[in-house]
Amino acid sequence: MQELAGLLQQLPGIKSIEFRDVKKLAELLRQSPEIGSIEVKGWFGSRVVITRTNNAAGPAATAPVYQDPAAVPAPAPAPPPEAPVVAPHLKEIKSPMVGTFYQAPEAGAEPYARVGGRVSPGATVCIVEAMKIMNEIESEIAGVVKEVCVEDGQPVEYGQVLFRVDPNG
């Protein structure tokens, strides 16, 4: 364990980690069988990895691994998340403000709009609470609700899709 702390002191960017912190991490690793390793990233690409070993006679943690940032290739960018496939004929009802989405006027009441239900222009489809003010959101189109895109009580952003409506339904 003291060797590990000595190595940590030599790594650039991780000098602020103390021996007692490493000891706590090793103890956490030893007591938590569901954790296989712990990685601490420092400045300038430096990192320390403490890994569980399966050796019953050996220590619970191995020596840290230091990688020179110049020698480490940049990770491949994650592929962009796939956009949900939306039927092109569906129209969207979007939030006109930031706030909290509510499907009904009060807890336990029937929702204003539900999947399979009809909406018409001017009909209230939900409430968006903003700054303690309940704002009734009205539909601008007529049709059948095909999708409710937000769960009750969840925060919504300006322009976020709340409902998808089939105007031909």
28-63 pLDDT per residue, tens: 777 877 777 777 766 555 566 777 766 544 455 555
Kindly list the structural domains of the chain, giving each domain's residue range(s) and its CATH number in brackets, ordered by start: 2-51 (no CATH), 91-166 (2.40.50.100)
Cα angle, residue 118 at apex, residues 114 and 122 outer, rounded to 5°: 100
The residue assigned the tokens 């007591």 is 31
Task: End-to-end CA distance of the chain: give it in Å, rounded.
Answer: 69
- pTM given for the model: 0.49
Complete edge-to-edge strand list for the sheet that includes strand 91-94: 91-94, 161-166, 143-148, 118-119
Q: Which pLDDT does position 158 carry in this prediction?
A: 94
Q: Would you place residue 126 in the very low, low, confident or very high pLDDT band (cuts 50, 70, 90)? A: very high
89-120 pLDDT per residue, tens: 899 999 999 999 999 998 889 999 999 999 99
CA nearest 137: which of 90, 82, 87, 100? 100
CB 6 within 8 A of CB 14: no
132-163 pLDDT per residue, tens: 889 999 999 999 999 999 999 999 999 999 99
Helix (H, G, I), strand (E, B) or coil at 169: coil
CA nearest 124: which of 133, 108, 109, 135? 135
Q: Which pLDDT does position 54 carry in this prediction?
A: 62
